[in-house]
Structure 1
Amino acid sequence: MQHPANENRYNNMLYQRCGRSGIKLPAISLGLWHNFGSVDNFENGKSIIFEAFDKGITHFDLANNYGPEPGSAEENFGKILNKHLKAYRDEMLISTKAGYYMWPGPYGEWGSRKNLLSSLDQSLKRMNLEYVDIFYSHRFDPETPLEETMQALDHAVRQGKALYAGISNYPADKTREAESILRELGTPCLIHQARYSMFERWVEPELLDVLDKRGIGLIAFSPLAQGLLTNRYLKGIPEGSRMTRNHFLKNEHLTPEKLEKIKDLNAIAENRGQSLAQMAIAWLLKDPRVTSVLIGASSVRQLNDNLDSLNNITFDKEELDKIESILSRQ
Structure 2
Amino acid sequence: MLEMLNRWYQRRFSDPHAVSLVAILLGGFLTIYFFGHLIAPLLVAIVLAYLLEWPVVQLTRLGLPRTLSVMGVLLIFAGLMVMAVFGLVPTIWHQVGNLLADVPNMFNGLQEYVLSLPERYPDFVQPHQVGTFMDGLRVKVLGMGESAVKGSLASLVSLATLAVYLILVPLLVFFLLKDKEEMLATLSGLLPRNRRLASKVGLEMNEQISNYIRGKVTEIFIVGIVSYITFEVMDLRYAVLLGVLVGFSVLIPYIGAAAVTLPVAMVGLFQWGISPDFWWLLVAYGIIQALDGNVLVPILFSEAVNLHPVAIIVAVLVFGGLWGFWGVFFAIPLATLVKAVWNALRATEPQESPDVTL
Pick the structure with greater CA Rg: 2
Greater share of residues in helix: 2
Report the TM-score when normalising by structure 2: 0.22
Greater share of residues in strand: 1
With CA pairs under 8 Å and 6+ residues apart, which has the higher RCO, 1 or 2?
A: 2
Report the TM-score when normalising by structure 1: 0.24
